[in-house]
Chain A
Amino acid sequence: MSILQFKEFSSFINISFWNELAQKKLNIFKLSDAPVNISAFYTYSSSAQLDPFLSIEYNSFLPLTSSNEGDSLYKLPPKSYLSNGIIYNYNTKEDFKQAPKQKIFEDVSLNIWNDIKNGNVERDSSLLSRFLILTFADIKNHQFYYLVGVPALSFESPITLRSPVQPINEYFTSNQVASLKGQLVGSQQQFFLIRKEGQDSVEVASLDKWSSFVDEAKNGTLIVGFSDPCSLPSNPGWPLRNFLYYIGFKQIKDVDVVCIRDVKGQSIDTSIVLQLALPETPTEWSKKSVGWEKDPNGKILPRLISLASTMDPLKLATQSV
């Protein structure tokens, strides 16, 4: 039985985000280091040579909803999926260093668990996708320290593959693939349920249809799908982990997962299907979660970005023609 490995996210923080953080720090947060909600997105990997990215941009601080009409809202790019984040911006390097990192990570993980337990994820599956970022903005020197975590609830033992990874065109008929693709167009759902309808079509449904899908799957295996930011041939992306934890919590042992990969909005033929065995069905979360971002040397260490060459007016002057 081979162990399924999930490909980690790479945080991809747009320089415009650091600029925005610096502005917020100066004008709004000031000396407050209270956590603030932010949003990020991930999308399909356009190339096998690009990691799955969790992208944080200039608009990450904008709210997702607002009662005031005319307020600017956070808007996902097309074919992108939401991750709900929280940022802890510290006032000093020392505060940043001493931050209760483990506690914060556990709190976010606990939120995910609570949303699974209370059924909130059935109303909004994006709640399975959460991240945290700890920052220290050294504005004077245009330097930013940061550490990102994308918590994934872990089973006690690894998830295994019941059979080798299959291309989508072997698992479904070509008409079923076309039917699936048709129903995914324009969908912002990251996680969904799938049911074969004869040889020629499938039905796709959101997680709030869970009970009816699960009842019918009793005689066969439950099929689910998710929008996969990874493009490796036999590894799914990180968001699947919390989805599988949810499925495990629902007392499911065997599940087939369609990892949807989308090439430039044209084709989903590179998608893969994983036939998985979940190790156990948790009724309580074991407090185990993983997902701190590693530095290029594989260590869980903060990273530093220096934007002197793009933010410092003096250095800019020397670049201009």
Chain B
Amino acid sequence: KTVEKVSPTLQTSKFLDEGVLTPEEFVQAGDLLTHKCPTWTWESGDPSRNVTYLPKEKQFLLTRNVPCYSRVKSLENETKHAKYDILNIEGEDNEEWVAPSASASDVVDIQKDLASLSVQTTTTTTTAKPSAPQQQQQDEDSDDDGEIPDLEDFQDDNLVEDDPSTLSKPTVNKSNNTTTTTTSTTSNNTSTAAADDDNILRTRTYDISITYDKYYQTPRVWLFGYDENRRPLKPEEIFEDISEDHAHKTVTIDSHPHLGISFAYIHPCRHASVMKKLITKQCENGKEPRVDQYLFLFLKFISVVIPTIEYDFTLEFDT
């Protein structure tokens, strides 16, 4: 934080040379993203947290309610043997994409890294598999959320609705054991399987935001997750949606610069070098890298880290 305050804002474009962005270029890239993918919007955030190097109405990018049908664990099982490498960010210098606190012991084996990169990165449907129950460990509500009072005490007998014209939300079916996901925060009743009355399968959703990181001069991705009942996910639950090789290493929790609440974010320390490689690759393939397309490339690469969160970056894009 302090470093960020004293470090000067990047003025001249170093996009091609270093894979980084100036604030102006971030705005350009964001404009194209919101134009091509209307699910992404510019947000102004908390006015008291505005930064001066970005326009008031364009402080950060946000996409809401992005479905996340399955956990990374099940995806990795499905595609374990799929051997294709879309991004191929393996560099000649064997630079790995590693943890922020990179000490020698933390360094991820490049082979392992590549394995995680073989995950499909298209936005097209990953079909939910409610029929393949993953007997996940239900972390038995390690009462870190304090005492949970009995809400039945709040029953108000005057409030009764019996309306033939109402299609209610499906109620939780207690005998249903096909739980594919984990706990909700308060109730012991965690079934989230297919609904009985409208066949809607509940899914987790994420709000994803992209801020401009002044220190690293790259975009920074923030994740906020909700469970099937729209309760915020706990950090450890969010880690279930982050590729195993990156969870706990490249993802950590901090206060969102424009909202002031805690989000999980993908640490940007390697973003520039990965982007640089992707840009170089584009050049080698005879394509002219465009700075306003930066975020499409960037999001494609981020999807390696969060392969099951189906956010939108639909522009046809080859590296």
Contact = CB atoms under 8 A, between A and B. Distances in A.
B248 interface: yes
A302 B151 contact: yes
B172 A297 contact: yes
A158 B185 contact: no
B83 interface: no
Interface in A89-142: 96-97, 101-102, 141-142
Interface in B176-208: 184-187, 189, 198, 200-203, 205, 207
Given A13-B230, A316-B253, A319-B253, A290 B154 contact: no
Given A46-B39, A58-B259, A316-B262, A6 B165 contact: yes
Interface string B253-264: 110000111100
A302 B232 CA distance: 17
B146 interface: yes
Interface in A287-317: 290-292, 294-311, 315-316
A135 B145 CA distance: 19
Nearest to B259: A16
Interface string B265-289: 0010000000000000000000000
Contact of A77 (B41, B145, B148): B41
Interface string A66-105: 0000001001011100000000000000001100011000
A8 B148 contact: no
Given A5-B165, A46-B65, A75 B44 contact: yes
B146 A296 contact: no
Contact of B167 (A8, A145, A305, A311): A8
A232 B67 contact: no
Contacts of A299: 155
A290 B166 contact: yes
A34 B231 CA distance: 27
B149 A50 contact: no
Given A15-B224, A49-B201, A102-B159, A296 B154 contact: no
B169 interface: yes
Interface in B140-165: 144-149, 151-156, 158-161, 163-165
Contacts of B205: 50
Contacts of B189: 296-297
A28 interface: no
B27 interface: no
B315 to A, nearest CB: 13
A12 interface: yes
A301 B128 CA distance: 31
Given A15-B224, A321-B99, A290 B161 contact: yes
A19 B261 contact: yes
Nearest to A9: B169
B100 A321 contact: yes
Given A50-B203, A101-B156, A154-B165, A304 B148 contact: yes
A8 B169 CA distance: 7
Nearest to B255: A316
A3 B45 CA distance: 44
A10 interface: yes
A80 B63 CA distance: 13
A47 B125 CA distance: 11
B77 interface: no
B261 A300 contact: no
Q: What 10 A-B pairs are tightest by C-beta distance, nearest first? A: A298-B171, A306-B145, A5-B167, A265-B38, A321-B252, A319-B253, A300-B159, A290-B163, A309-B234, A310-B262
Given A46-B67, A50-B203, A302-B151, 18 more contacts: A6-B167, A8-B168, A19-B259, A46-B65, A49-B67, A49-B201, A79-B38, A145-B154, A154-B165, A294-B169, A294-B171, A301-B152, A306-B146, A306-B185, A310-B232, A319-B235, A319-B253, A320-B252
Interface of A: 3-8, 10-16, 19, 46-51, 53, 55, 58, 72, 75, 77-79, 96-97, 101-102, 141-143, 145, 154, 158-159, 232, 235, 241, 264-265, 290-292, 294-311, 315-316, 319-321
